[in-house]
Chains A and B, each alone.
Chain A
């Protein structure tokens, strides 16, 4: 459309050059242009023509052009009375302000102005635009000051476009009517189609009853194209107008229907090559310019027809599966519902960006979460490893008592076995002695394996468990394990267990490790005291939901300045200590959703308290976590 418009502009530039001398003669200071449209002001064609006119009619410093628009509002209003009313109205309205040029837009307006020219705008040049060439041809000869470029139809161009859009089509069906005018179209088509539709199976449905035509079109398949200019009368003599024919045929046709008139758009036809209203407006505007410049309308050399543009019903493009990319860029498209994107692309873009950012954020949060989770797992593994290492270290501290505890029964077994052997060698019949010895061997063996299994649980490297266990049993085991050590260091270990089972959920070994740690610390704490003070009490009590293990010694207590740092890593007051035992103990207890604290007993010594949720509470918490 752009190219066409530019071409039109060029044409009129030439025209103006030829009429320049005349232009200089007449220099009206102001000029009014009256434009009369056939239809309603909001008809798209009118709007396009108006746009074309306004873009082409020039103002200059010494000439101010005003454009007035009037509308006949056809076909909504008509009849002789209406016409006379309009005539009166226009005459009265423009009596004092006669236009310099009148422009008629399309057939009815042109006809109106021709009919009432003498009453209304006598002697004013009349320029027509968008008037059908055939309409003009049917009128009597026009006065010389009535000029314009007729609107023409492009049957061949429409058919050729259809053939391009349906490359697989092999059949061309042409529908025409029975009236004289229909016959003219038929004749033209019969003349031109063989040339443009070479290789096509061309079928004319000419002058047939409309029912026959409809039946024929229904049977068509996708290999066909239908072209019709519509008709005014069918084979039965029934009268139509072309647009009604298009509306009748297009919806039921098995093949796409093309037509050459813009009025067909919307009836179901795909479209066709049709005059462009913008260009018509521009053409008219250029003629107005030339006339206002003083050119004589008769001297203008005008093109034979208005430029064409391709017009399509986008719904039909979709319906017939026409490749959207093959629709030329300058095509005038109707009924293309703006896609959501076209309507709201700013909003969509903004939302998309927000969603994208949000997604990015979510992804990064997820990654972060995974990283943290991995870090937590790593920390957990390190904590487990550290706890194990710490148990090994504790076991190292206990080596002497452990070895003692294992070697006692082993020594007894060996001695018993030796004794038995000697008795047997001597041949004495000491059955009773031998029986006693053997049963003692069995006892000692069990004793040794008991020690080993206790140690193995403590020293084995295992993933932390979450199982219910009784703190009473776990504590007695620990006291049993440490009893030898305590005894040899002349320390009395006193266990005051809870009367009821004190069940907690967690890792028994780790909790035992905490206890061992606290007890060994306590044993160290009382090591330098007089022997009667070397007593350590470990007690288990229930306190509401929690179960509290207290380890109390009668040692010197904790120096006040150490109390706050006691559970920190690498804090130690011992010579050989690493300062990890209590820090590991705290991390173990906290992993069991418990707490560990220390205070000095006013009566002397330190009290370490480990609080763990009782099994019921712990289970509830575990449920909440799951």
Chain B
């Protein structure tokens, strides 16, 4: 998380790409250029915060195609589109697909840096969210099978007594499991536990 952001520039125009890389460099960013969608996809992405500056019209798969492909990955980087000629249909499609911005070339520096800031912010927050989810998943993974069973029944809204009956254990034993799993999952109340369960359910959907 502490790593410096890396900006990916995908543009088939060598000169423009180099200019953008220079600009980003001068603005204090670390940036990497790609001449095509394929080149971008073939290069393994380091796990670093960042975003993609993507030309809409590219030879081979277009910028929009790349955006689609990236969205299917959980680790999608935010996309800022650059275009030489913005038509409404393309920009709407790009924005609907979650683009941070749709900038027309030539791009003013302020607009570009502003969009970059927002993209990095979005990346940061999605990284944070992803980290939290990862933590939760790790916690769930730490539950013993018995604790897991009890958690599922709590989430299903069953009372301790019912759970004890169903599992054929004593009420006291259920209460002990419950205390252990709440501790493992890092929640203090039944309400928090319910919320966590809701999130998990929605994610697995």
Q: For this complex, into which size category does the number of interface residues on chain A fall? A: 20 to 34
A423 to B59, CA, bound (A): 32
Query: Which of A419, A420, A447, A490 has the most chain B CB within a 10 Å cutoff?
Result: A419
Q: Are B27 and A422 in contact (CB under 8 A)?
A: yes
Is B84's beta carbon under 8 Å from chain A?
yes
User: Given A414-B108, A418-B109, A404–B22 Cβ distance below 8 Å?
Assistant: no
* Min CB–CB distance A535 → chain B (angstroms): 15
A residues within 8 A CB of B59? 487-488, 490
Residue pair B85, A407 in contact (C-beta under 8 Å): yes
Q: Which residues of B contact A403 (CB under 8 A)?
A: 84-85
In the bound complex, CA of A401 to CA of B84 (Å):
8
B36-74 vs A: 1/0 string, CB under 8 Å?
000000000000000000000101100000000000000
- Of the listed stretches A46-54, A436-444, A540-548, A554-562, chain B binds A436-444
| A412–B19 touching, CB < 8 Å | yes
Closest to A413 in B: B106
Task: Convert B80-110 into 0s and 1s, putting 1 for each residue whose CB lies closer than 8 angstroms to a CB of A.
Answer: 0011110100000000000000001111110
Q: Known contacts A411-B105, A411-B106: does B84 contact A416 (CB below 8 Å)? A: no
Q: Is A415 in contact with B85, judged by CB distance below 8 angstroms?
A: no
* Minimum Cβ distance to chain A for residue B83 (Å): 8
Do residues A419 and B85 form an inter-chain contact, with CB atoms below 8 A?
Answer: no
Inter-chain CA distance A408–B12, complex, in Å, is 10
Bound: A581/B109 CA distance, A:
42
Contact A447 B15 (CB under 8 A): yes
> How long is the Cα–Cα vector from A415 to B16 in the complex, in angstroms?
8
Question: Looking across the interface, which residue of chain A has its beta carbon closest to that of B27?
Answer: A422
Chain B residues with Cβ under 8 A from A420's Cβ? 22, 26
**A490 to B60 CA separation, bound complex (whole angstroms):** 7
For the complex, what is the distance from the CA of A499 to the CA of B165, rounded to whole Å? 94
Given A419-B19, A426-B26, answer yes or no on A414-B13 (Cβ-Cβ < 8 Å): no
Residue of B nearest to A415 (CB): B19
B13 and A400 within 8 A (CB) = no
Q: Inside 8 A of A407's CB, which chain B residues have their CB?
A: 84-85, 104-106
Q: Which residues of B contact A272 (CB under 8 A)?
A: none
A410 within 8 A of B: yes
Those 7 A-B pairs whose CB atoms lie nearest each other, nearest first:
A411-B105, A404-B84, A403-B85, A422-B26, A415-B19, A407-B84, A419-B22
Answer whether residue A376 sits at the interface, using C-beta atoms and an 8 A cutoff.
no
CA distance A409 to B19 in the complex (A): 10
Q: Is the CB of B22 within 8 A of A437?
A: yes
Sample 7 A-B pairs with CB under 8 A, ordered by A number: A400-B84, A412-B16, A415-B16, A415-B19, A433-B22, A440-B15, A488-B59
Knowing A416-B22, A437-B22, say if A408 contacts B85 (CB, 8 Å).
no
B: which residues have CB within 8 A of A? 13, 15-16, 18-20, 22-23, 25-27, 57, 59-60, 82-85, 87, 104-109, 112
Point out the residues of chain A lying under 8 angstroms from B106, CB to CB. Answer: 407, 410-415
Q: Does A405 interact with chain B (Cβ within 8 Å)?
A: yes
Closest to A430 in B: B26
Do B23 and A415 have beta carbons less than 8 Å apart?
A: yes
Q: How far is the CB of A450 from chain B (nearest CB, A)?
A: 13
Question: In the complex the two chains form, is A408's CB within 8 Å of B84's CB?
Answer: yes
Number of contacts between A and B (CB, 8 Å)? 93
A407 to B107, CA, bound (A): 10
Whether B22 contacts A414 by the Cβ 8 Å rule is: no
Q: A412-B15, A414-B109 are known contacts; what are 9 more A-B pairs with Cβ within 8 Å?
A: A405-B84, A408-B15, A412-B106, A413-B19, A418-B23, A422-B26, A423-B26, A426-B26, A440-B15
Question: Within 8 Å CB of A490, what residues of B?
Answer: 59-60
Bound together, the chains give a CA A399 to CA B83 distance in angstroms of 13
Cβ contacts A445-459/B at 8 Å (1 or 0 each): 001000000000000
**Could you tell me the distance between the alpha carbons of A405 and B105 in the complex, rounded to whole angstroms?**
11
Q: Contact residues of A with B, CB < 8 Å? A: 399-401, 403-416, 418-423, 426, 433, 437, 440, 443-444, 447, 487-488, 490
Q: How far is the CA of A447 from the CA of B13 in the complex (A)?
A: 12
Looking at A400, A407, A413, the one whose CB has the most chain B CB atoms below 10 A away is: A407
Partner of B19, one of A404, A416, A447: A416
Which residues of A are found within 8 Å of B84, using beta-carbon distances?
Answer: 400, 403-408, 411
A127 CA to B85 CA in the complex, in Å? 128
Cross-chain contact A411 with B26 (CB below 8 angstroms): no
Q: Are A400 and B85 in contact (CB under 8 A)?
A: yes
B25 near A400: Cβ-Cβ < 8 Å: no
> Residues of B contacting A408 with CB < 8 Å?
13, 15-16, 84, 105
B-side contacts of A406, CB under 8 Å: 84
On chain A, the residues within 8 Å of B109 by CB distance are 414-415, 418, 422
Partner among A410, A426, A447 whose Cβ is within 8 Å of the Cβ of B105: A410
Given the known A-B contacts A409-B15, A412-B16, A447-B15, are A488 and B25 also in contact in the complex, defined by CB atoms under 8 Å?
no
Q: Which residues from chain B contact A399 at a C-beta distance below 8 Å?
A: 85
Contact between chains at A412 and B13 (CB < 8 Å) = yes
Given contacts A408-B105, A411-B107, A419-B22, contact A444 B15 (CB under 8 A): yes
Alpha-carbon distance between A410 and B15 when the two chains are bound, in angstroms: 10
**Residues in A neighbouring B108, C-beta threshold 8 A:** 414
A415-B57 contact, Cβ under 8 Å, with A408-B13, A422-B26, A433-B22:
no
Residue among A401, A418, A440, A487 with the highest chain B CB neighbour number at 10 A: A418
Q: Which listed residue (A415, A443, A444, A488) contacts B20, Cβ 8 A?
A: A415
Chain B residues whose C-beta falls within 8 Å of the C-beta of A410 in the assembled complex:
105-106
Contacts of B104 in A (CB 8 A): 407
Measured CB to CB, the nearest residue on chain B to A426 is B26
Q: How far is the CB of A306 from chain B (nearest CB, A)?
A: 118
Give Cα A440–Cα B20 distance, bound, in whole angstroms. 12
Measured between C-beta atoms, what is the minimum distance from B5 to chain A in Å?
17
Contacts of B85 in A (CB 8 A): 399-401, 403-404, 407
